[in-house]
C-alpha cells in the first residue's frame, strides 16, 4: 500500500525534461501532500538533437504545461511545420513528389473523398484536391497570422525546433514554474529490492536517491530499463533497414532566405535525406542502410544534395526497434531508452509526449495497483510502436523504384509485416477512412495520413461508381469549398519567415 509520491527521472534532454514538465504540471496540486518530481542528469551526456520535428500534439502539450508559444519561438529557434514533402520516393525522378499535410481532407468525418478523386482520373494530385495545405507549403506561407492567439491558427501545424535549445528551455520552465528538482550527477549503481523493484540510485557524489517510480530517459544507454531491469530489446532491422545517419547544419545564403514550412524528405539510392528549416539554419541529414551503401558514398550523396564538395557530418548509429516491455515493476522507459526508429515521420518526440501523458494521467495511487497500470501502458505503447513501424514501411513498399538493391529489398515479402500486407490487400478494394480501425484511442496515425501517402504514391484502389451516387453532390461541394479555401488562404496568409520575425519582435496574443 506504499503511495506513489516520489517520481525520479534519470536523464535529461527532450525526453527527460518533457516528461518532467508533463508529470509535474498534471500533479502540481499534490505538492503539499509530498508529491515531487526529481530529474537526475549527467553532465557528460550530449543531446543527440536529430529530433527537430514535432507533431501538432506539441501545441496542446506546451499549452498544458504552461509554456508561452511566443517564448518558445524566441528561445528554441522554432519554426512552423505543416507537413512533409516526399521527393523521389515513388519513381525516383526529379519531378516525383507529394505532400503529407497535417490538415484532414475536407469533410473527412462525413464523406470519403478518395473514390470521388479516383473517379476524376487523378486530374489533380490528391492532396491539393482535398486540402489547401500543400499549396500553402509550396508558397512558403505560415499557418496563421500575427493576429491569431497562441496555439491557434487557420491551418493545423506542428513545429520544427532546435533540440539543443528546447531541452534547456523546458528545464528552465520545469525548475522555476513546476518545482522540479534538478540534480547534476552520474548514477553509479541501481539498487533493487528483493521483489525486483528499484529501491535507490547511488550517485557519484556519495549520495543516494530513493523513489517510488523511476523513469528511464537515458537514451540508447537504457541504464535502468536495460541494464538494471534486464528488459530485452526487440530489433526491427529486418523491416526497416536504415541504421545510420549523417547530420549537418547548413547556413542560409542570407538572413532573409525563405524558410520551408514543411519537412523535406528526399529519397536516395539507399535511404533518404531530411531537410528541416529553422530561422537561423537548416538541419540536414542522410539516413541510410549501411548494408546497402558505404559511409563514404552516403556522405557523397549528402554533399551533392547540399551542393558542397566538403562537409563534416556527425555520424549517428540507429538501432531500429523498441523494448519488449516498457514498464517493468516500478521502472518505465521513455524516449530512446524505450525505442527509436528512423525519423521519417517525426515519431520520436510524439512518443515521448504520449508516454509521459499516459504516465501522468494514469499514475498509480500506490504500489499495489502499479502492475495493473503498467500492463495497460505496455499494451498501448506496444501497439503504437507497431503502428509506427507499419506506417514507415508503407513508404517503402509503395515505391516503383528498382534502381538499387535497397529499394528492391524493401519489396521482399519477408520484410513486410503481416498486418500491413493484409491492409494493402484491403486498400486495393476500399480506401482507408474515418470509420476504420485507425481511430482507436491508441492509434498513432489517422486514416487521413494513410490516404495522403497511399495516393501520393499512386496506389490503385478499385472504385464502384454506382456506390458514389448518394454522396456525389456533397463531395462536389466539398471539393469546391477546398478550391475556394485554397485561393483565400493563398492570398491572406503571411510568408513563413515574416511571421516568425513578427512573433519574435512583437509576440502573439496570449490565450
Ordered DSSP codes for 422-452: HHHHHHTTS---TTSGGGSTT-SS-HHHHHH
Q: Which residue, 433, 360, 351, 358, is CA-closest to 386? A: 351
The rounded distance, in Å, linking the Cα atoms of 151 and 261 is: 16
439 band by pLDDT with thresholds 50, 70 and 90: low
Nearest 5°: CA angle at 119, between 117 and 120?
65
Q: Which residue has the cell 500491413?
A: 420
Q: Which of the listed residues 354, 388, 422 is the one where a domain comes to its end?
A: 388
Q: For residue 49, is pLDDT > 70? A: no
Q: Which residue, 310, 318, 264, is CA-closest to 291? A: 318
- 301-322: per-residue pLDDT in tens? 999 999 998 899 999 999 999 9
Task: Give the residue-averaged pLDDT of 245-252.
Answer: 95
Q: For residue 486, is pLDDT > 70? A: yes
Residue 469: DSSP 8-state: G
Asked if 146 and 260 sit in the same domain, the reply is yes
SS3 of 265, please?
Answer: strand
Query: Is there a domain that residue 17 lies in?
Result: yes
Q: Which of the listed residues 348, 370, 388 is the one where a domain comes to its end?
A: 388
CB-CB contact of 373 with 4 (8 Å): no
Neighbours of 441 (CB within 10 A): 5
Task: Give the residue-averaged pLDDT of 251-263.
Answer: 95
- 192-229: per-residue pLDDT in tens? 999 999 999 999 988 999 999 999 999 999 999 999 99
Q: Give the torsion sign (CA, 486, 488, 489, 494).
A: positive
Q: For residue 373, is pLDDT > 60? A: yes
* Residue with more model confidence, 372 or 466: 372
Q: For residue 123, is pLDDT > 80? A: no
Q: Which residue has the cell 538572413?
A: 255
Q: How many domains does the chain have?
A: 2
Query: Is there a domain that residue 66 lies in?
Result: no
User: In the chain, what are the helix, strand and coil shares in percent, each to the nearest 5?
Assistant: 40, 20, 40
Q: Residue 45: its pLDDT value, please?
A: 74
Q: Residue 121: its pLDDT value, please?
A: 76
Query: Is there a domain that residue 507 lies in?
Result: no
Is the pTM higher than 0.85? The answer reads: yes
Q: Residue 6: its pLDDT value, please?
A: 98
Query: Is there a domain that residue 170 lies in?
Result: yes
Asked if 126 and 259 sit in the same domain, the reply is yes
Alpha helices by DSSP H, listed for 147-268, are 163-177
> Rg of the chain's alpha carbons, rounded to an integer?
23
The residues facing 83 across adjacent strands are 101
Quote the domain boundaries for residue 200.
6-52+162-235+320-388
The residues facing 182 across adjacent strands are 39
Q: For residue 50, is pLDDT > 60? A: no
Q: Residue 48: its pLDDT value, please?
A: 63
Q: Which residue, 308, 315, 322, is CA-closest to 355? A: 322
434 band by pLDDT with thresholds 50, 70 and 90: confident
Q: For residue 33, is pLDDT > 80? A: yes
Q: What is the largest CA-CA distance in the chain?
A: 76
Q: Residue 510: its pLDDT value, please?
A: 84
Residue 223: DSSP 8-state: I
Neighbours of 92 (CB within 10 A): 18
Decide the pairing of beta strands 213-216 and 6-10: parallel
Q: For residue 435, is pLDDT > 90? A: no
The chain-wide mean pLDDT, for the chain, equals: 95
Q: What percent of the chain has pLDDT over 70?
A: 97
Q: Residue 473: its pLDDT value, please?
A: 93
Q: Which of the listed residues 388, 423, 440 is the one where a domain comes to its end?
A: 388
Query: Is there a domain that residue 313 lies in?
Result: yes
What is the CATH classification number for the domain harbouring 258?
A: 3.50.50.60
* E strand residue ranges, 185-340: 187-192, 198-203, 207-210, 213-216, 233-235, 244-250, 263-267, 271-277, 282-288, 314-317, 321-323, 327-328, 331-333, 339-340
Q: Which residue, 92, 107, 132, is CA-closest to 398? A: 92
Q: For residue 474, is pLDDT > 70? A: yes
Alpha helices by DSSP H, listed for 96-243, are 114-119, 126-130, 133-138, 163-177
CB-CB contact of 300 with 203 (8 Å): no
Q: For residue 189, is pLDDT > 80? A: yes
Residues in the chain: 511
* Residue with more model confidence, 466 or 472: 472
The rounded distance, in Å, linking the Cα atoms of 46 and 66 is: 26
Asked if 405 and 383 sit in the same domain, the reply is no
Q: Residue 309: its pLDDT value, please?
A: 87
Q: For residue 51, is pLDDT > 60? A: no
Task: Give the residue-averaged pLDDT of 48-67.
Answer: 88
Residue 225: DSSP 8-state: I
Asked if 246 and 129 sit in the same domain, the reply is yes
Q: For residue 274, is pLDDT > 80? A: yes
437 band by pLDDT with thresholds 50, 70 and 90: low
Amino acid at each position: 500500500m506504499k503511495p506513489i509520491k516520489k517520481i525520479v527521472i534519470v536523464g535529461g534532454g527532450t525526453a527527460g525534461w518533457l516528461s518532467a514538465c508533463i508529470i509535474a504540471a498534471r500533479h502540481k496540486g499534490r505538492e503539499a501532500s509530498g508529491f515531487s518530481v526529481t530529474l537526475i542528469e549527467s553532465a557528460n551526456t550530449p543531446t543527440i538533437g536529430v529530433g527537430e520535428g514535432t507533431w501538432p500534439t506539441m501545441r496542446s502539450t506546451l499549452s498544458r504545461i504552461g509554456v508561452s508559444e511566443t517564448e518558445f519561438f524566441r528561445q528554441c529557434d522554432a519554426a512552423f511545420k505543416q507537413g512533409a514533402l516526399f521527393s523521389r520516393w515513388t519513381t525516383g525522378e526529379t519531378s516525383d513528389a507529394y505532400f503529407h499535410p497535417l490538415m484532414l481532407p475536407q469533410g473527412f468525418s462525413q464523406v470519403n473523398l478518395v473514390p470521388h478523386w479516383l473517379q476524376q482520373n487523378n486530374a489533380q494530385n490528391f492532396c491539393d484536391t482535398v486540402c489547401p495545405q500543400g499549396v500553402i507549403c509550396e508558397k512558403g506561407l505560415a499557418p496563421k497570422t500575427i493576429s491569431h492567439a497562441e496555439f491557434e491558427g487557420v491551418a493545423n501545424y506542428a513545429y520544427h525546433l532546435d533540440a539543443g535549445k528546447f531541452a534547456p528551455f523546458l528545464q528552465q520552465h520545469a525548475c522555476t514554474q513546476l518545482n522540479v528538482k534538478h540534480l547534476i550527477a552520474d548514477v553509479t549503481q541501481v539498487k533493487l529490492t528483493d521483489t525486483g523493484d528499484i529501491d535507490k540510485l547511488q550517485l557519484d557524489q556519495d549520495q543516494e536517491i530513493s523513489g517510488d517510480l523511476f523513469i528511464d530517459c537515458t537514451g540508447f544507454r537504457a541504464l535502468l530499463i536495460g541494464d538494471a531491469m534486464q528488459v530485452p530489446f526487440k530489433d526491427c532491422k529486418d523491416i526497416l533497414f536504415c541504421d545510420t545517419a549523417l547530420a549537418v547544419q547548413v547556413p542560409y545564403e542570407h538572413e532573409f532566405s525563405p524558410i520551408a514550412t514543411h519537412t523535406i524528405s528526399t529519397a536516395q539510392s539507399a535511404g533518404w535525406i531530411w531537410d528541416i528549416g529553422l530561422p537561423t539554419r537548416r538541419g540536414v541529414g542522410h539516413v541510410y542502410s549501411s548494408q546497402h551503401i558505404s559511409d563514404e558514398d552516403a556522405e557523397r550523396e549528402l554533399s551533392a544534395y547540399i551542393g558542397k564538395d566538403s562537409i563534416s557530418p556527425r555520424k549517428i548509429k540507429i538501432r531500429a526497434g523498441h523494448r519488449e516491455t516498457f514498464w517493468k515493476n516500478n521502472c518505465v522507459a521513455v524516449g530512446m531508452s524505450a525505442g527509436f526508429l528512423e525519423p521519417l515521420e517525426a515519431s520520436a518526440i510524439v512518443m515521448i509526449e504520449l508516454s509521459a501523458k499516459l504516465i501522468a494521467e494514469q499514475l498509480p495511487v500506490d504500489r499495489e495497483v502499479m502492475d495493473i497500470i503498467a500492463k495497460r501502458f505496455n499494451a498501448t505503447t506496444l501497439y503504437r510502436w507497431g503502428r509506427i513501424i507499419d506506417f514507415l514501411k508503407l513508404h517503402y513498399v509503395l515505391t516503383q523504384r528498382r534502381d538499387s538493391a535497397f529499394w528492391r529489398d524493401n519489396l521482399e515479402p519477408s520484410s513486410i509485416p503481416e498486418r500491413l500486407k493484409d491492409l494493402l490487400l484491403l486498400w486495393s478494394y476500399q480506401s482507408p477512412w474515418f470509420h476504420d480501425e485507425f481511430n482507436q484511442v491508441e492509434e498513432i496515425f489517422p486514416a487521413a495520413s494513410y490516404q495522403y501517402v497511399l495516393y501520393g504514391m499512386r496506389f490503385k484502389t478499385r472504385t464502384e461508381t454506382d456506390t458514389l451516387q448518394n454522396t456525389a453532390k456533397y463531395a462536389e461541394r466539398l471539393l469546391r469549398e477546398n478550391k475556394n479555401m485554397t485561393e483565400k488562404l493563398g492570398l491572406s496568409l503571411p510568408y513563413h519567415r515574416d511571421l516568425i520575425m513578427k512573433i519574435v519582435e512583437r509576440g502573439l496574443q496570449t490565450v
